[in-house]
Amino acid sequence: MTTQFRGVIPPVVTPLTADGEVDKVSFARSLNRMIDAGVDGLFTLGSSGEVAFSTDARRREIIQTVMEIVDGRVPVFVGCIDTETNRVIEHAKEAKELGASAIVATCPFYALGGLPEIERHFRLIHEAVPELPLFAYDIPVCVHTKLPGGLLVKLGQEGVLAGVKDSSNDDVAFRFLVDDNAKAGHPLTLLTGQEVVVDGAYMAGADGSVPGLANVEATGYVRMWKATEAGDWATVKKEQDWLAALMRIVTVPQGVAGFGSGVGAFKTAMALLGVFDTNQMPNPVLPLKGENVKRIAAVLEECGMTLARTPEEVSASTEA
Amino acid sequence: MTTQFRGVIPPVVTPLTADGEVDKVSFARSLNRMIDAGVDGLFTLGSSGEVAFSTDARRREIIQTVMEIVDGRVPVFVGCIDTETNRVIEHAKEAKELGASAIVATCPFYALGGLPEIERHFRLIHEAVPELPLFAYDIPVCVHTKLPGGLLVKLGQEGVLAGVKDSSNDDVAFRFLVDDNAKAGHPLTLLTGQEVVVDGAYMAGADGSVPGLANVEATGYVRMWKATEAGDWATVKKEQDWLAALMRIVTVPQGVAGFGSGVGAFKTAMALLGVFDTNQMPNPVLPLKGENVKRIAAVLEECGMTLARTPEEVSASTEA
Amino acid sequence: MTTQFRGVIPPVVTPLTADGEVDKVSFARSLNRMIDAGVDGLFTLGSSGEVAFSTDARRREIIQTVMEIVDGRVPVFVGCIDTETNRVIEHAKEAKELGASAIVATCPFYALGGLPEIERHFRLIHEAVPELPLFAYDIPVCVHTKLPGGLLVKLGQEGVLAGVKDSSNDDVAFRFLVDDNAKAGHPLTLLTGQEVVVDGAYMAGADGSVPGLANVEATGYVRMWKATEAGDWATVKKEQDWLAALMRIVTVPQGVAGFGSGVGAFKTAMALLGVFDTNQMPNPVLPLKGENVKRIAAVLEECGMTLARTPEEVSASTEA
Amino acid sequence: MTTQFRGVIPPVVTPLTADGEVDKVSFARSLNRMIDAGVDGLFTLGSSGEVAFSTDARRREIIQTVMEIVDGRVPVFVGCIDTETNRVIEHAKEAKELGASAIVATCPFYALGGLPEIERHFRLIHEAVPELPLFAYDIPVCVHTKLPGGLLVKLGQEGVLAGVKDSSNDDVAFRFLVDDNAKAGHPLTLLTGQEVVVDGAYMAGADGSVPGLANVEATGYVRMWKATEAGDWATVKKEQDWLAALMRIVTVPQGVAGFGSGVGAFKTAMALLGVFDTNQMPNPVLPLKGENVKRIAAVLEECGMTLARTPEEVSASTEA
């Protein structure tokens, strides 16, 4: 049974300066804050870590920055996200050289294919970087394929996959995956990528979570995981209720959709809390401004959080 | 706050004789078994009640049969499922005449439209049958539209909708719907249509569930709901774990998909348990046979259930 | 080789009075106008004939009205559109009694299924009404399944299907279907349901077309088909260019989508041309008004058509 | 009016050696053969040029190889396909350095976004490489977004876009795009990415085509374009009929889907014709073998083409 990685492993949001560079000071503030909160690992270059927006040089800079800041205090997962196998393998080899604890890869996207290509894709990645645990990243909203549970468990039993980061929002499939994995001897570490239905995933038997919202507020997720381990479901529910209320920062922005409202809201909240210096977004996405920043500030205050900066200051933070 | 309907309200599976007629004897056995188990209501002519497969005359026969058997012991919800408003209103008026406690309607399907048509659709249905509580049936897998939470709560506040039967398998959206409904004063009764992630929906604050699997085994769902009401989450988890294992009857059939493996498995299990005389399916779907029946029997036995008939007997039950 | 039906077979748009009844006077004006223009048949209760919006009584009234008006001058296809087999068969039997020349059915929708159910669905319909040619209606935008060409040709060779009404907007698949049908001895009559790419379908070898726009202007489609038969492709192109410009009536409405802007624009244009008395739409869709009517009038005039009524008159036509 | 690029511009298929390296000898044979056939340009690193499968180093090697072989005889379009703006800009700058005549970019994919991000994406690419004509690549089957015609024409009028490579298989939208572009003064060069419905696109007014099948047989596409320019539609139809029959090489393979059967069939046909030494495919896709190669050979022979090698030789061509 895999017990190497368990618990709360937030997908790291990447802070940018107003002119779009990696903001290492803010980055250190954020990562240290999560580690101090007691997270069990960090996942850099996930979807919310703007992996798809970052050039290869930028990806390298992000990994290196994270590695330096973390300095071995917790395991670091690295997202190796690209269209097809050979491109992913390049990222995986680089992640290994830079000290990743584990790598995370989606199935192929862009080109059309089928299950045989998906299976061979994961096998080839594992063959190329056998030293590192390989997590399959199930995120159909981005890659437009749902990974079948049967294939995942089979690849787990054969040692190709070490785990799954499930961002499918298909909780029925996740529930069956947990059960099939248990029947197979628990070869896979199963992490849910949700923020507001983590309680259900824990009840189903998840081994941990990868909540983007933990960048804004990690302590609640740490308490929820500890309560899960203790079987204290009333506390799990209480923490999840509060975190779900906080997650509304991503639903209040108007006139913007997808990454711009999701990660845009995380960055804006972190800027309001004084963790990030700006809420700058990567091209072609624009940072949230004006009323949208105020809406996010209102949610934070309703949830009892203390703002370090005004909405106006955050709106101005991305100006030249 | 709506408190009229809460708890476990199974969507009723319709038993057929070998030659495709409604099997009233089996029907009485099944409904009485669920009522004896303590369900809080019954929902007839839902998706798993073969509403889409039934002619209008057949729908009438099913409603009448259910009403006679139930005889006021629990409330009866009636599905009024059809492509567009005027057709739904006809079904709704008939449901009212036949004694329905509440009606359930999806948004329009087949023709293309937008949110204004969906909103007007529910308003017109409510205007046509104002005496009956109207539940919106959110089932994008069938109608290819996800009902937005904001619209649902608005229609709840205005008294158009009394509740929602959520079969969207979008647990994030359901979680936010529960929260928005609570903030609005709980105008809507929110029922989850899931079977294996009911625990999470209850933790999120659902008012009840509509699990098809309760046709096979209702007592577990009743115990899970009572444990929820008592805040006994350990029991909720235990019951859900067992019911999730039992639900594997729908994933073991091979060579068949959709309604044929889902409701087909329910009917087959009920035939194996002696509740239904046959596992006959409506045109153009064929009943499960041979190895698929054996696979379902094996799941039932693994879950500790006692078979009343052999797989061979069930496979033969639909022969002329 | 099937030669029974060829050429231009418009899907009939159904005129309504301001209070939502079938407007038989306008209906006669429209059908006579199309027959006088030289169409080769008429298709009633297609998607644009508001089949999905019409109750069974309304469907019967529409068929009877069309039959009386047409009075044997051209063949009449009748759409038998419903969710599953037994419901479709009821419609098919009624169409037969009312004198349909052929029936048109989609694959099942709403309930989930697979290819075996689709194949059995068409077989059961044909067995129930063997006297009438059965056309498969391939309209994935409504039923969310694309009919595979191989299945269609097989059912054609076995005498189950007489033809296909292709509204898939998948011209590559249609091209291959035409070729496979030719190789199989042309068992199927293949009609394209397009309006603006009919020229390409004719070049590919279609046996005719079912253009909704022919309700507004049939003569161009008749000329295009005759030019096709004569191999006069320059004329085909000229007619298609003009008809494509006219079709912009469906793209100019703002703030409305789907059936409301598509059939809504057809009805509005016909009201502007004096063919329909109103542009009333079936519940829950609202008729086009104000600026949208003016935009449609402008397209008609740009295409050289003479308006019989002002936009204001048409906007007022649906007032009580 | 843009007249810089017109006619037949095949998307170049990339030959690989058995061990997966770029096969420059086969590459020269193929490109020279297409140029000799009279193509008006070449498009390298399109979807069928395995751009998604190629590392950055491999992409560079492919561009350089194509540039050396073509040596200025025809314009060379270069695909700059990647997830988001900054990654695409890197590819675009490299394409410029390596001598591209024009660049081709899709809208963003992987991360979720909306129209504002898509518009800004193309603007930023154009700003970064203003010297090169920028073509929008509309390929929803790969990127899961359909580019709206209105946005494309607007960006054309503003000089951001020089043209569109339409692989949407939405011929209705393409027809309207052609018309809107004409009304706007023809700012965009509109190329269809189809193989078997090019005749219809030409009748609609396309400025040319980008047919993958031209790698197998370019002369037919050149003749079809010349006939289009001459208004000789009977010849257009004749050539398209023959090419559509030849295109069946992509539909005959069994047990493989997507890129593996599509580009896999092109490579296999080219190996059978002696143009490519092998039909090797990029990871994780496997080359076609055995019966699938025989099926492709049969199609080629039915279309009157002479095989240079046996199916067995081609099947063996990828063995170590």
DSSP A43-111: EESSGGGTGGGS-HHHHHHHHHHHHHHHTTSS-EEEE---SSHHHHHHHHHHHHHTT-SEEEEPPP-SS
Average pLDDT over residues B278-303: 98
Q: Which of A53, A81, A286 sits opposite D86 (nearest CB)?
A: A53
* pLDDT tens, position by position, D227-276: 999 999 999 999 999 999 999 999 999 999 999 999 999 999 999 999 99
Comparing alpha-carbon positions, the chain C residue that sits nearest to B55 is: C87
Q: What residue of C is the nearest CA neighbor of B113?
A: C258
Confidence (pLDDT) at B2: 45
% of chain D at pLDDT higher than 90: 98
Residues 6+ apart with CB under 8 A from D203: C199, C200, C203, C233, C236, C237, C240, D233, D236
Q: Does B179 touch chain A (CB under 8 A)?
A: yes
Say if the Cβ atoms of B172 and A169 lie within 8 Å: yes
**Four-CA torsion C152, C154, C160, C165, nearest 10 degrees:** 20
Whether chain C has a CB inside 8 Å of the CB on D200: the answer is yes
Measured between CA atoms, the residue of chain D closest to residue A56 is: D87
CB contact under 8 A, A110 and D81: yes
Q: What pLDDT, on the 0 to 100 scale, is given for residue C1?
A: 41
D199·C204 Cβ contact <8 A: yes
Q: Mutation test of the interface with chain D: which of C197, C250, C252, C303, choosing the one with the most D Cβ atoms within 10 A?
A: C197
Q: Under an 8 A CB cutoff, do A113 and D81 touch?
A: no
Residue A2 has pLDDT above 90, yes or no: no
Distance CA B63, CA B96 (A): 10
Of B228, B77, B93, the residue nearest B164 (C-alpha): B77
Is C245 part of the contact surface with chain D (CB cutoff 8 Å)?
yes
pLDDT at A200 over 90: yes
Work out the minimum CA distance from B121 to partner chain C, whole angstroms: 5
Residue labelled with tokens 């580019």: D147
* CA neighbor of D42 nearest in space, from D3, D2, D12: D12
pLDDT at A36 > cutoff 70 = yes
Asked if chain D contacts chain B via 3 or more Cβ pairs within 8 Å, the reply is no
Task: Mention every residue, 6+ apart, whose C-beta is less than 8 A from residue B60.
Answer: B94, B98
- First vs last Cα of chain D: how many Å apart? 52
Chains in touch with B (≥3 Cβ pairs < 8 A): A, C
Query: Which ranges in D46-138 belong to alpha helices (H)?
Result: 56-70, 85-97, 115-128
pLDDT, position A3: 52
User: Can chain B be said to touch chain C, i.e. do they have 3 or more Cβ pairs within 8 angstroms?
Assistant: yes
**Nearest CA distance, D294 vs chain C (angstrom):** 20
Average pLDDT over residues C93-101: 98
> Hey, are the CB atoms on B142 and C110 less than 8 Å from each other?
yes
Please choose, from the candidates C204, C248, C241, C245, the residue with its C-alpha nearest in 3D space to the C-alpha of residue C223.
Answer: C241
Residue pairs between chains A and D whose CB atoms are closer than 8 Å: 141
User: Chains A, B: CB contacts under 8 A, how many?
Assistant: 80
Residue B306 has pLDDT above 60, yes or no: yes
Contact A256, A264 (CB under 8 A): yes
What is the rounded distance in angstroms from the CA atom of residue B289 to the CA atom of residue D233?
Answer: 56
Q: What is the pLDDT of residue C3?
A: 52
Mean pLDDT rounded to a whole number for chain B? 97
Tokens 């604890």 identify what position? A101
Under an 8 A CB cutoff, do A171 and B200 touch?
A: yes
Q: What does C114-165 look like in DSSP terms, one character per residue? A: -HHHHHHHHHHHHHHSTTS-EEEEE-HHHHS-PPPHHHHHHHHHTTS--EEE
Kindly identify which residue of chain D lies nearest to residue A59, measuring between CA atoms. Answer: D87
Residues D285, A81: C-beta atoms closer than 8 Å: no
| Mean pLDDT within C299-305 | 97
Q: Is C285 on the interface with B (CB under 8 A)?
A: yes
Q: Is A210 marked as a binding-site residue?
A: yes
Q: Taking the mean position of all CA atoms in its chain, how far away is CA C270?
A: 16
- Active site residues per annotation of D: 137, 165
Q: What is the pLDDT of residue B4?
A: 74
Residue with tokens 């300066």: A17
Handedness of CA A57, A60, A62, A64 (dihedral sign): negative
- pLDDT range class, residue C246, cuts 50, 70, 90: very high
**What are the residue ranges of helices labelled H in A158-281?**
171-183, 198-204, 219-229, 233-246, 259-272
In the CATH scheme, what is the homologous superfamily, with its name and number, of domain A7-231? Aldolase class I (3.20.20.70)
Whole-angstrom distance, CA of residue D118 vs CA of residue B190: 38
pLDDT the model gives residue C261: 97
Out of B96, B154, B165, B294, pick the active-site residue: B165
Cα–Cα distance measured from residue B162 to residue B165, given in angstroms and rounded to the nearest whole number: 10
Query: A203–B240: do the CB atoms touch at under 8 Å?
Result: yes
Percent of chain B with pLDDT over 90: 98
Distance in Å, alpha carbon of A245 to nearest chain B alpha carbon:
8
Average pLDDT of chain D, as a whole number: 97
H/E segment holding residue D136: strand D134-138
Helix (H, G, I), strand (E, B) or coil at B113: coil
What is the average per-residue pLDDT within A240-253?
98
Name the active-site residue from C154, C165, C202, C237: C165
pLDDT of residue B3: 52
> Around Cβ A2, how many Cβ atoms within 10 Å?
18
Choose, out of A199, A228, A236, the residue to mutate when testing the contact with B (most B CBs < 10 Å). A199
Range C151-156, long-range pairs (CB < 8 A, 24+ positions): C151/C115, C151/C118, C151/C119, C152/C177, C152/C181, C152/C188, C153/C177, C153/C180, C153/C181, C153/C184, C153/C187, C153/C188, C155/C119, C155/C122, C155/C123, C156/C181, C156/C184, C156/C187, C156/C188
Interchain CB distance below 8 Å, A176 and B251:
yes
Q: What is the mean pLDDT of residues B279-285?
A: 98
Q: Where in chain A is the domain with CATH 3.20.20.70?
A: 7-231
Question: What DSSP designation does B192 have?
Answer: E
3-state helix, strand, coil in chain C (%, to 5): 50, 10, 40
| B166 CB neighbour count, 10 Å cutoff | 29
Query: pLDDT by residue (tens digit) across A134-168?
Result: 999 999 999 999 999 999 999 999 999 999 999 99
* pLDDT for B1 beyond 60: no
Q: Take residue D11 and report the two structure tokens written for it.
A: 């998307």
CB atoms within 10 A of CB B283: 20
Quickly tell me which residue has 């997966």 as its tokens: D20
Query: Is the pLDDT score of C139 beyond 50?
Result: yes
Mutual orientation of helices D85-97 and D56-70 as an angle, nearest 10°?
30
Q: CB-based contact (8 Å) between D21 and chain A?
A: no
Angle formed at CA B217 by CA B144 and CA B266, multiple of 5 degrees: 50
Cβ pair C171:D175 closer than 8 A: no
B292 touches C: beta carbon within 8 Å: no
Asked if B137 is an active-site residue, the reply is yes
Helix %, strand %, coil % of chain D (to 5) = 50, 10, 40
d(CA C45, CA C29): 18
Residues of the binding site of C for pyruvate: 210
Set of chain A residues whose Cβ sits within 8 Å of the Cβ of B170? 169
- The predicted-structure confidence for C7-65, as pLDDT tens digits, reads as follows 999 999 999 999 999 999 999 999 999 999 999 999 999 999 999 999 999 999 999 99
The nearest CA of chain D is from the CA of A198 a distance in Å of 22
Work out the minimum CA distance from B200 to partner chain A, whole angstroms. 4
Tell me the sheet residues that pair with C191: C165, C208
Nearest CB among C90, C120, C260 relative to B284 is that of C120
* pLDDT single digits (tens) D153-166: 999 999 999 999 99
Percent of chain A predicted with pLDDT > 70:
99
Put simply, whether B186 touches A (Cβ < 8 Å) is: no
Task: State residue D31 phi and psi, 5-degree precision.
Answer: -65, -40
> Residue D199 is nearest to which of C179, C203, C234, comparing CB atoms?
C203
Q: Classify strands B134-138 and B102-105 as parallel, antiparallel or unpaired.
A: parallel
Nearest CA in chain B to A249: B176
* Rounded Cα–Cα distance for residues B26 and D52 (Å): 57
- B199 contact residues in A (CB cutoff 8 A): 200, 203-204
Which single residue is written with the structure tokens 């085909």? C236
B124-128: average pLDDT: 98
By the CB < 8 Å criterion, does A58 face chain D?
A: yes
| Identity at C20, one-letter amino acid code | G
d(CA B194, CA B250): 13
Is A124 in contact with D283 (Cβ distance < 8 A)? yes
Does D11 touch chain A if contact means CB atoms closer than 8 Å? no
Angle at which helices C85-97 and C115-128 pack, to 10 degrees? Answer: 30
Question: Do the chains contact at B84 and C142, CB–CB below 8 Å?
Answer: no
Which residues partner with B190 through β-bridges?
A: B164
Specify whether the CB–CB gap between C160 and C151 falls below 8 A.
no
Q: In this complex, which of C87, C142, C260 lies closest to B110 when CB atoms are compared?
A: C142
d(CA C278, CA C280): 5
Dist. CA D185–CA D196, nearest whole Å: 28
What pLDDT score does A320 carry? 65
Radius of gyration for the alpha carbons in chain C, expressed in angstroms and rounded: 19
Beta-carbon contacts below 8 Å between B and C: 138
Give the minimum alpha-carbon distance from A244 to chain D in angstroms, rounded to a whole number: 21
Q: Determine if the peptide bond prior to A284 is cis (ω within 30°).
A: yes
Give A84-139 pLDDT, tens digit per residue.
Answer: 999 999 999 999 999 999 999 999 999 999 999 999 999 999 999 999 999 999 99
Per-chain mean pLDDT for chain C: 97
pLDDT for residue A16: 98
Under 8 Å between Cβ of D48 and D270: no
A115 vs D: CB within 8 A: no
Which residues of chain B from 28 to 47 reach within 8 Å of chain A, CB to CB?
Answer: none
Helix, strand counts (H, E) of chain A = 13, 8
Task: Return d(Cα D245, Cα D302) in angstroms, integer.
Answer: 9
Q: What interhelical angle do D259-272 and D290-302 show, nearest 10?
A: 60
Q: What is the pLDDT of residues A270-299, one digit of tens each?
A: 999 999 999 999 999 999 999 999 999 999
> Given an 8 Å threshold on Cβ–Cβ distance, is D200 in contact with C196?
no
Looking at residue D52, its pLDDT comes to 98
Considering only CA atoms, give the Rg of chain A. Answer: 19
The answer to whether chain A touches chain C by having 3 or more C-beta pairs less than 8 angstroms apart is no
pLDDT value of residue D320:
64
